[in-house]
């Protein structure tokens, strides 16, 4: 992380759309990060088996000022404040937005509203120049979305009709008595299990449409768990592996259909669940079949929600003159 701040033009960014309180300071001139800190609420929500909105809001009120107090030395150089304004939990978003408005007024600098999904796309370009156009898959706790993206915005090709990819991992984890968030632990259990032990359905296999669905697969897992009765660790591993095989194959089959008509030159996967290595490996294999060498994914530390990606979007808006500083 860069440090000499003398005469730099900086953006302070805030992310609080769900259960992560995060603040970053990014340099407008050279994209460098000067400060980045995140307080995750996972342990608190884990006690309740998932995110409790009111608790998330209260924890943001505690965490955000603590992080902000470490950034005061940058205040003289801040030229804009960026904040996630949507989508997300209203009560959580509000905490970041109130803080951003107060700083923007206090420092007399513009307030830049950032869409969280655009943030995930720009997580690819933290401390780097952006490269477009590309075909992008966003997999998170709230979304499963295939998009065509350029520097002006994105066009949705297909999205989920019900649960998202990450959410289905969270729900499977909860059914198996594993911790929240479910993604990392289900992936770990899956890596030790037999993916052919259960024959879970691959969602929308017969449909020619580019769309996603995870509620049917989740119910199939529920039925299998109920049938097993008391389940030991080996059974949990086998269920996780078989579930993950279908969850990822669903994405691969839909992408294959889309690529047949629209072979990508550049492809990226972003969002919290893009940290999943099994998914990344299957995507790479598919892209190879289509001779697409250009596969991008964020660094693991930028897959989940963070203010760094929100600051990076703000830089783009400034560069495109959408915001005058």
Decide whether 109 or 303 has the Cβ nearer to ligand KG4.
303
For residue 138, how far is the Cα from the chain centroid? 7
Least distance CB 30 / ligand KG4 (angstroms): 27
Decide whether 10 or 237 has the Cβ nearer to ligand KG4.
237
Sheet (strand 134-139) strand order? 153-159, 144-150, 134-139, 266-270, 294-296
Q: What is the largest CA-CA distance in the chain?
A: 65
Beta strand extents in the chain (DSSP E only): 10-15, 20-27, 33-40, 78-86, 111-115, 134-139, 144-150, 153-159, 266-270, 294-296
Residue 15 contacts ligand KG4 per CB under 6 A? no
Residue 242 contacts Zn ion per CB under 5 A? no
Only one of the segments 41-49, 73-81, 137-145, 214-222 lies at the binding site for Zn ion (rule: CB under 5 A); that segment is 137-145
Q: Quick one: what does residue 182 bind among ligand KG4, Zn ion, none, with the CB cut-off 5 to 8 Å set by partner type?
A: ligand KG4
Q: Which of residues 255-284 bind ligand KG4 (CB under 6 A)?
A: 271-273, 275-276
For 156, list phi and psi in degrees, rounded to 5: -80, 130
Least distance CB 184 / ligand KG4 (angstroms): 5
Least distance CB 52 / Zn ion (angstroms): 18
**DSSP-based three-state secondary structure for 240:** helix
Within 10 angstroms of residue 52's Cβ, the number of other Cβ atoms is 17
Decide whether 140 or 246 has the Cβ nearer to ligand KG4.
140
d(CA 41, CA 324): 35
Enter the tokens of residue 49. 């088996």
Tell me which residue of 170, 154, 160 sits closest to 18, measured CA to CA.
170
Map residues 223-262 to x or -, x wherever contact with ligand KG4 holds by CB under 6 A.
Answer: ----------------------------------------
Strands 134-139 and 111-115: unpaired
d(CA 41, CA 286): 35
Enter the tokens of residue 105. 């007024």
Tell me which residue of 311, 322, 272, 319 sits closest to 126, measured CA to CA.
311
Q: Which of residues 136-195 bind ligand KG4 (CB under 6 A)?
A: 140-142, 166-167, 169-170, 181-184, 187
Least distance CB 217 / Zn ion (angstroms): 21
Decide whether 115 or 194 has the Cβ nearer to Zn ion.
115
HSE, side-chain direction, 13 A CA sphere, residue 31: 15
Q: Quick one: what does residue 202 bind among Zn ion, ligand KG4, none, with the CB cut-off 5 to 8 Å set by partner type?
A: none
d(CA 263, CA 236): 37
Least distance CB 51 / ligand KG4 (angstroms): 9
Residue 119 contacts ligand KG4 per CB under 6 A? no
Residue 305 contacts Zn ion per CB under 5 A? yes
Which spans of this chain sit near ligand KG4 (rule: CB under 6 A)?
18, 140-142, 166-167, 169-170, 181-184, 187, 271-273, 275-276, 304-305
Which spans of this chain sit near Zn ion (rule: CB under 5 A)?
140, 305
């Amino acid at each position: 992380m860069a440090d000499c701040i003398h005469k730099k033009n900086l953006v302070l960014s805030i992310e609080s759309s769900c259960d992560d309180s995060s603040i970053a300071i990014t340099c407008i001139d050279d994209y460098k990060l000067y400060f980045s800190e995140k307080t995750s609420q996972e342990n608190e929500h884990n006690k309740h088996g998932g995110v409790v909105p009111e608790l998330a809001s209260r924890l943001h009120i505690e965490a955000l000022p603590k992080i902000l107090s470490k950034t005061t030395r940058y205040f003289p150089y801040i030229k804009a404040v960026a904040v996630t304004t949507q989508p997300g939990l209203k009560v959580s978003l509000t905490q970041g937005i109130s803080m951003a408005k107060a700083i923007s007024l206090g420092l007399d600098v513009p307030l830049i509203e950032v869409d969280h999904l655009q943030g995930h796309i720009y997580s690819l370009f933290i401390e780097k120049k952006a490269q477009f156009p590309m075909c992008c898959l966003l997999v998170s706790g709230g979304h499963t979305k295939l998009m065509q993206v350029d520097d002006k915005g994105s066009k949705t090709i297909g999205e989920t009709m019900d649960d998202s990819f990450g959410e289905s991992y969270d729900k499977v984890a909860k059914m198996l008595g594993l911790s929240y968030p479910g993604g990392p632990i289900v992936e770990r259990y899956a890596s030790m299990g037999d993916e052919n032990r259960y024959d879970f359905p691959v969602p929308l296999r017969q449909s020619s449409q580019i769309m996603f669905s995870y509620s049917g697969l989740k119910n199939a897992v529920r039925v299998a768990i109920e049938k097993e009765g008391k389940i030991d660790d080996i059974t949990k591993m086998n269920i996780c592996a078989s579930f993950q095989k279908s969850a990822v194959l669903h994405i691969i089959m839909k992408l294959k259909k889309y690529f047949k008509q629209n072979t990508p030159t550049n492809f990226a996967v972003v969002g919290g669940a893009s940290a999943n290595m099994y998914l990344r490996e299957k995507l790479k294999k598919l892209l190879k079949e289509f001779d697409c060498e250009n596969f991008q994914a964020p660094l693991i530390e930028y897959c989940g929600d963070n203010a760094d990606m929100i600051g990076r979007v703000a830089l783009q808006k400034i560069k495109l003159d959408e915001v005058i500083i």
